[in-house]
A and B are shown apart, each in its own frame.
Chain A
Amino acid sequence: MSKKSKSSKRKQKDTTSPTTKLEKAVRKKRTWYETFQSPVLSSHHYYGFVSWAGYGIGVLILLVLIAHHAAGYLLRPTVLDESLIQKVLHPENYGNPKIGKINPTIKFYRGLSEDTETLLFQLKEGEIAGFYIESGALNLPPRNRSFGIAMITYYQGEPLIRYGFAKKNHSMKQILRELRCVSLEMYPNLDEMRGMSTIPAYNSPTNFAVPWDQSDYFYFVIAAKSQTTFHLEKVIFLME
């Protein structure tokens, strides 16, 4: 029985080996020109795995789209505070936070523009004016997030805006000249009064001399390069 099985195995080997050799010979004989002329894909593969790869790409793109939208939703800025101007104009409605004028020799007025109450600054060339407000009265971001402000303004002239954070012991001179802060040069408008909105650039705590979570005051200053009339209608605190 075992002899028979061995011989049958040998027979099987004998019958298969020439075919394999022939195949090998055929493969060896295939020249570069034949490869050059051979089809890249059989129709079986084209309608098989290539088609499925196409579905895979489609699904992948849909996943990327969902991830993109989700990232957009998670990373979009958060509005922290929209009522800064109201707090300055009507502190009694907000628990009377500590508010002061910077460079008190210059006046800023409560003006009306477009039926909305605004802070009005009227400055001659080279003058500086502003205000500060207690940090505790504002909704500021945590230390690990970025902070920016957006503004709705109406102005005429060449205003330069600076804002930042200060401690109680900082002098007026330090606030106006020395402390590291964010400055924003508004586009010169020497004709009629016109409206301008600003989209925020976001800053980390290191962009300020005093990080917001260690500060006592937030200050906002306007310097005039030429005679300037500046209405501050809205300041929006944003966190990114």
Chain B
Amino acid sequence: MTVLTKYSNLPLPTNAVERIRWGDILIASLAALILSLVCFWMNPLSDHNPITQYSSMADKPFSFRELPYGGRLLTPLLAYCMPFGTDTEFRLIAFGSYFFTGLFLVLVMRLIDIPLYWAVALLPCFYFAPSARFIMANAWYTDPLNYWMMICVFFGALTRNLGVTLAAVTVGAFNRPESLFLVPVIAAAWWNVKYPVRSLLPVLWCCAPGILIFVSIWFVWPYVSDFLVIAIITGDPLGTSPVQIGKVFQKHGFSVLLSYEIWREIIPGAWGLAIIGILKGPRRITLFSLAHIGCSLLPMLIAVDFFRLPFFAFPGVLLLAGLGVSALNQRHPILAGAAVLVTWILLFFFPHGILAGIIAAFVLLLVYFLFPKTIARDTSIELDAAGDQFS
């Protein structure tokens, strides 16, 4: 495998994974568990199932359903394998996925050396986001498992671990083939200017099974399932997507990327921290996060109902917010604490408040640049010096 990774860029040092301590796992697990329990308790399962395709797939997993729903196989298959009622099964899968998403989100932040308490402090931005709460109340969607896999891709891509990245991309594609939008994000992390082609070989290696799964589900599955029989009976062309992508794109154009419905879902309360993260964070990590946000928004050009889709950008936004809070912490911990508090207030009182988010970001930037740098204490230097003395 070293042959494959020889020319690609490594975003973090190889020993970055050693930054994750048992204490991090324990505290992050506790925080994720408590937040998951609270949020699931606050958002009980809806009376009406808005998306019956997945629950009917859980009852008959070897029967074809219309694309794109019929291509999202893993969550219904897991539900089929569980011994509880369909609703409970979907709810359990969603709960587990939310828990592990929260846990891995903290771990990814620890990888890039964001202090544990600030990483945990940003977790509510995920759990209390309107789209996340919508999915909790409508647990029949396949999104939660993809949230978790997306964070796993972040973990694997930042540490350039081919096995972890491959597993996360493959599981993600099996659950929702559209999750392959992460391929350019991984490429952004590993691309090396000196070896533009050879540095992308590990990307191909990691994404090949996911691409194979996509092709298999969209082009093979309809023809080996009961689709042909159903097509004879109903006369419906189930094998093709009911959405004509070209027509949707012509209708939307790029102007759709400016619409309020998209930006309100991308945690506007955390934008201030994210901007500081972009300005002060390590270049490779910020570019990676921005690439992720960009790639999460591109599907809106061809999506018909994108009310919850922009939320797939949350890991990039929260990673940047983590870098931002870390930068503020280096100025003064109270400043970082105040910024996190403002983020929480915005999240709870103006969850969709783009204007409030922009004003808060402006104020935060102003405070950050006017705050005297002399107060800053860089504890990491002291620790390094101490380490040298002992050695």
Contacts and interface: CB of A to CB of B under 8 A. Distances in A.
A46 B73 CA distance: 29
Contact of B164 (A51, A76, A79, A200): A51
Interface string B226-252: 101110111100000000000000000
Given A69-B216, A72-B62, A197-B235, A40 B20 contact: yes
A18 interface: no
Contacts of A112: none
B21 A62 contact: no
B85 interface: no
Interface residues of B, number: 50
A41 B235 CA distance: 56
Interface in B53-67: 61-64
Interface string A36-73: 11111111001100111111111001101100111111
Contact of B213 (A47, A51, A62): A62
Contact of A77 (B164, B166, B226): B226
A69 B14 contact: no
A79 B228 CA distance: 10
Contacts of A65: 73, 174, 213, 216-217
A57 B229 contact: no
A197 B17 contact: no
B26 A54 contact: no
A140 interface: no
A102 interface: no
Contacts of B164: 50-51, 54
Interface in B307-339: none
B235 A71 contact: no
Given A37-B21, A71-B62, A46 B159 contact: yes
Interface residues of A, number: 42
Interface string A132-164: 000000000000000000101000000000000
Given A41-B18, A43-B15, A36 B23 contact: yes
A69 B224 contact: yes
Given A40-B25, A43-B17, A79 B159 contact: no
B294 interface: no
Nearest to B77: A68
B192 interface: no
B79 to A, nearest CB: 14
B166 A79 contact: no
B174 A64 contact: yes
Interface in B3-56: 14-26
B81 to A, nearest CB: 10
A73 B232 CA distance: 17
Contacts of A43: 14-18
A37 B25 CA distance: 11
Contact of B225 (A76, A79, A152): A76
A46 B17 contact: yes
Nearest to B23: A36
Interface in B137-175: 156, 159, 161-168, 170-171, 174
Contact of B163 (A35, A39, A52, A199): A52
Nearest to B1: A51
A236 interface: yes
Nearest to A70: B224
Contact of A61 (B63, B156, B209, B234): B209
Nearest to B208: A58
Contacts of A47: 14, 161
Contacts of A77: 226, 229
Interface string A181-209: 00000000000000001111000000000
Contacts of A238: 229
Given A43-B17, A61-B209, A72-B225, 18 more contacts: A35-B22, A39-B20, A54-B168, A55-B166, A57-B170, A57-B171, A58-B209, A65-B73, A65-B174, A65-B213, A69-B221, A72-B62, A72-B63, A72-B64, A73-B225, A76-B224, A199-B234, A200-B233
26 contacts: A36-B22, A36-B26, A39-B17, A39-B19, A40-B20, A41-B20, A43-B14, A43-B17, A47-B14, A51-B1, A55-B163, A62-B170, A62-B212, A62-B213, A64-B77, A64-B174, A65-B73, A69-B220, A72-B63, A72-B221, A72-B224, A72-B225, A76-B224, A76-B225, A197-B233, A199-B234
